[in-house]
Structure 1
């Protein structure tokens, strides 16, 4: 068996990296992974868990800056680690690349090959004049890369200063006639796209040139695109070089262009082995479609079983309409699980009668434990491949399950989400503006802003269809209100992707007797919301979602302001709620100080040191805003 080594340079986009590793996971492949040292929250154990057949080797991390010699150093270190395995081919790819061919195709194609697949062109080809990148010295580029540094602060000021000095130094070199190329009259320089698929012999040859590479390119500009093609075409391996890198990279539409879902046909019709680049955070549907195409997956005609869990508590007036709407689903293969949470009216009797009359309805009685406990019982009982939750005083359209399942089936998502109708009292429609497939990273970003309607649509439980496997290690938090807020980030964060549709298929009503309706927002348990946001902050301190942490911290502050507006002066006084705000703010400040920006530090300190005054300011600002909006 001729094995291949994949050398992967990753920076962030860990959902994309997970999808990439899943596609490369093959006993014929080993993976050598470098993750930029600038990246926080790297979990090597989690990454290793993503593959089952390949070996994963982590290369010593270093800070990598775009367009600098640090990229070459990283490539050399990965090659040095990999050549010990004497692989047939070495593929250098990015963590945001994705294969366009199956591993069977790639291995079969290269089985008897001994070519070096390297993109290259000469000075002036394609209008590219690149020799200036090695003609002059760029000693400061290694510290600043090619960043713009448009932000505020002393560090950004200093980096802008270094960058300015670098270009001043360049002009000085031009004036005095510096020309480093004179030393290498016998070398013909070539430029390519950095990425390659090369043989073991050539990989070893590159490593034998390590000292020469450092001497020639350490202070150059963009050496990663010059080193490998120049070495190859000035060596005994020149005759083995094929002028293609087996990558589809579009430099016409970007630097490079990031492919989107509408490029699917272009990608699948390409002869390339890999596409660079694709963002799973932005284009999960494209990646899922490509994966399906690679494996030529055929959809099973038989519809999987869907479990519909209905927690019931003292809803004798509303339960019949709810259950009848579920019986009338156009999607046939369902089980309806009615959980009687210790009702004291005729709810249990009505639910049991439905179960006696329909062979796909099941009745279970339990002691009163609240909505979360009832849902958890339903999860434990459910036998379906997919699961949905419907509150017993609500109802759904007849195509509720069929449309939600179609959204999952068409996109290979793990969750689908629809809009809903508000019924009785405050009426209206809450729905998405467009049908889409979003990544869990994007879903987490939406959770990081509590004001848009999309936040509510992603948080609530009952407008969704889930893969049941998502609940393998998750349950609703019992004994709390705002139970959906406690689990939303964990269930969305665990999903592979989420399909959202514009259809409004769920009918939601607030009835008398619910906490929301009866306490007018004065129940002290509403402080549970801040605990849920705190949990969301903790959850974000990880490799996949570290970029969303700052947004979750903002969510806590904004959530506290909303509660300060919600609670009356009387409730604040009687329940010592200001003390609760103070202690919860202190916990956030103490536990997350290193991640807070200046604004959040000031807000939290004010809410701790002068809590009453802080609330007064929040109320005044809100009143001024409402007056302005009223005008």
Structure 2
């Protein structure tokens, strides 16, 4: 019987994937399978994975046409056979005892999920930063909920796909939203947390998360982000907290701020010719979802006023003027 299923999507990671595969082969905990989903790589990533699969039967390689990380993870989830599930990114690194620590934590504690500390590292400078979590040991979900939004804001631990081990039954009928390229992992876990009774926190760091890797989705430019999709994810975040009777105090304050920011960003980062349409759209969503639009700063407050009052043409004119002023400001700096 397989104990742990590792799901790893791969897309054009030939520079890194050999290292993570070696890290997995060197794990002191041996009873695992690794489902590798090659998401239509155009480099040698798929070949490197196939070579490992030929010599180590624990590694299963699935090749698909490129459809994004969410779809690739969903393909992997349909193949898992282990009692516990964990996700790994192809450009990260593991200590040899990573799976052993997670397995011992979940079997001894009988928690639903293990969340472990991670270490961020930057390839160009070799700079590292420990992402310490503010808990150690087993907690009831109801104990964590009062500060859930604050901890998520400060650490991001509830949303990261990796650094976790969870019971297989938690993911039944739960999948990543296809097409999402940013915060798809937080969106996924927001579907799981309502089922969770206990979480065990492992403060030690055995997972190394590479920052600014080539082809990383974390490098998206502002104008490439789907802010409406991010707004929907955070509406789900609010729904989760409401369902758990925890949408109050700090949780409400922080999530309301996030929702307001994304309503603003949908308009602010839109193509200027599309601003009127975006203002109308955000007005409807803000009204239907009862989003408390309270801005910070002059520009945000002005645009939010335009949204609340359906002043799309005015918002477009103001942002075009704002663009011109910013252009002159950048130019003036060049001559100083």
Does TM, normalized by the shorter one, top 0.5?
Answer: yes
Specify the alignment match of 2:215 in structure 1: 513
Asked whether the equivalents of residues 540 and 546 of structure 1 are also in contact (C-alpha less than 8 Å), the reply is yes
The 3 A distance-change label for structure 1 pair 451 and 336 is closer
Q: C-alpha offsets along residues 300-328 of structure 1, whole Å, 9 cap, x if unaligned?
A: xxx96101111011111110001111111
After TM superposition, list the pairs within 5 Å mapping 1:535-546 onto structure 2.
Answer: 535-542=236-243, 545-546=244-245
The separation in 2 between residues aligned to 1:557 and 1:579, in whole angstroms, is 23
Specify the alignment match of 2:105 in structure 1: 407
How far the C-alpha of 1:511 sits from its partner, in A, is 1.2
Q: C-alpha offsets along residues 238-287 of structure 1, whole Å, 9 cap, x if unaligned?
A: xxxxxxxxxxxxxxxxxxxxxxxxxxxxxxxxxxxxxxxxxxxxxxxxxx
How far the C-alpha of 1:550 sits from its partner, in A, is 7.2
The 3 A distance-change label for structure 1 pair 373 and 564 is same
Asked whether the equivalents of residues 534 and 588 of structure 1 are also in contact (C-alpha less than 8 Å), the reply is no
The 3 A distance-change label for structure 1 pair 336 and 451 is closer
The 3 A distance-change label for structure 1 pair 528 and 441 is farther
Q: C-alpha offsets along residues 154-196 of structure 1, whole Å, 9 cap, x if unaligned?
A: xxxxxxxxxxxxxxxxxxxxxxxxxxxxxxxxxxxxxxxxxxx
Asked whether the equivalents of residues 530 and 556 of structure 1 are also in contact (C-alpha less than 8 Å), the reply is no
The 3 A distance-change label for structure 1 pair 527 and 516 is farther
Q: C-alpha offsets along residues 576-629 of structure 1, whole Å, 9 cap, x if unaligned?
A: 468547634642443348xxxxxx36569745237959x99xxxxxxxxxxxxx
The 3 A distance-change label for structure 1 pair 450 and 315 is same
- State whether structure 2 residue 153 is matched by structure 1 residue 472: no
Specify the alignment match of 1:135 in structure 2: none
Asked whether the equivalents of residues 228 and 266 of structure 2 are also in contact (C-alpha less than 8 Å), the reply is no
After TM superposition, list the pairs within 5 Å mapping 1:321-470 onto structure 2.
Answer: 321-424=19-122, 427-449=128-150, 452-454=153-155, 456-470=156-170
Specify the alignment match of 2:228 in structure 1: 527
Asked whether the equivalents of residues 448 and 554 of structure 1 are also in contact (C-alpha less than 8 Å), the reply is no
The 3 A distance-change label for structure 1 pair 504 and 587 is same
Asked whether the equivalents of residues 430 and 453 of structure 1 are also in contact (C-alpha less than 8 Å), the reply is no
Asked whether the equivalents of residues 443 and 492 of structure 1 are also in contact (C-alpha less than 8 Å), the reply is no
Q: C-alpha offsets along residues 26-54 of structure 1, whole Å, 9 cap, x if unaligned?
A: xxxxxxxxxxxxxxxxxxxxxxxxxxxxx
Q: What is the CA RMSD across the aligned residues, in angstroms?
A: 3.3
The 3 A distance-change label for structure 1 pair 508 and 521 is farther
TM-score by length of 1: 0.44
How far the C-alpha of 1:561 sits from its partner, in A, is 5.3
The 3 A distance-change label for structure 1 pair 601 and 364 is closer
The separation in 1 between residues aligned to 2:101 and 2:279, in whole angstroms, is 43
The separation in 2 between residues aligned to 1:586 and 1:568, in whole angstroms, is 13
The separation in 2 between residues aligned to 1:539 and 1:323, in whole angstroms, is 36
The alignment partner of 2:178 has SS state of coil
Aligned residues: 303
How far the C-alpha of 1:384 sits from its partner, in A, is 0.1
- State whether structure 2 residue 316 is matched by structure 1 residue 316: no
More deviation, 479-488/381-390: 479-488
How far the C-alpha of 1:446 sits from its partner, in A, is 4.3
TM-score by length of 2: 0.78
More deviation, 600-609/328-337: 600-609
The 3 A distance-change label for structure 1 pair 328 and 578 is farther
Q: Which has the higher contact order (CA 8 A, sep 6+)?
A: 2
The 3 A distance-change label for structure 1 pair 373 and 320 is same
The separation in 2 between residues aligned to 1:436 and 1:321, in whole angstroms, is 30
Specify the alignment match of 1:307 in structure 2: 5
Gaps of 5+ in 1: 1-302, 594-599, 617-631
- State whether structure 2 residue 202 is matched by structure 1 residue 504: no
The separation in 1 between residues aligned to 2:160 and 2:279, in whole angstroms, is 25
Asked whether the equivalents of residues 12 and 215 of structure 2 are also in contact (C-alpha less than 8 Å), the reply is no
After TM superposition, list the pairs within 5 Å mapping 1:288-303 onto structure 2.
Answer: none
The alignment partner of 1:392 has SS state of coil
Asked whether the equivalents of residues 149 and 255 of structure 2 are also in contact (C-alpha less than 8 Å), the reply is no
Asked whether the equivalents of residues 476 and 486 of structure 1 are also in contact (C-alpha less than 8 Å), the reply is yes
